Amino acid sequence: MKIGVRKVTDTINELMIEGVMTHSVLIVDDDNASREVFRQVLKMVGFKSTEAANGEIALRLLENSAPDLVVLDLRLPRVTGAEVLQYIYNAPHLANTRVIVASAHEAMMVKLNLRDRDRYLVKPIFASLLRETALELTGSID
């Protein structure tokens, strides 16, 4: 589904003015720079973020919370992104959590068997694509 930049900008402005953008995101990536970029991009459209530098920390955070969205790298230390994804898919309290897998390894897309409502984005990811995808998955834009 293609979304025009103008529509995204208009929707973002309307939602920010109304103060209704209160989505939470867990950003899981072992690369500090990637986490920072993702955090800044999503903050601009109203997401409140929590970060995890490895899969083990992500699992601990997910045990006690249910973010609206998880941005997940696959190659993580300690616990892999694929293992974190399986936890999300198997945990009843995370049934409504949407996932954006953000990875430089396009070949992994086929192996993951993502739910229809989740997305796989290949790094490097344009800020506009991350914003649009996050807003689409959380129901902020049609």
Q: What is the pLDDT of residues 4-49, one digit of tens each?
A: 445 544 544 454 444 455 799 999 999 999 999 999 999 999 999 9
Residue 2 pLDDT level (bands cut at 50, 70, 90): very low
- 70-120, pLDDT tens digit by residue? 999 999 999 999 999 999 999 999 999 999 999 988 777 777 888 989 999
Q: Indicate whether 142 belongs to any domain.
A: no
CATH number, domain with residue 108: 3.40.50.2300
How far is Cα of residue 109 from the mean position of the Cα atoms in its chain? 15
pLDDT value of residue 142: 53
**Euclidean distance between CA atoms 101 and 26, whole angstroms:** 12
Nearest to 23 by CA among 75, 83, 100: 100
**Residue range(s) defining the domain that contains residue 124:** 5-137
Indicate whether 23 belongs to any domain: yes
> Is 122 exposed, middle or buried, given 0-12, 13-18 or 19+ CB atoms closer than 10 A?
middle
Do the domain assignments include residue 27? yes
Give, in degrees to the nearest 5, the angle at Cα 129 between 125 and 130: 70
Total domain count, the chain: 1
Amino acid found at 127? A
Q: Is the pLDDT of residue 64 over 90?
A: yes
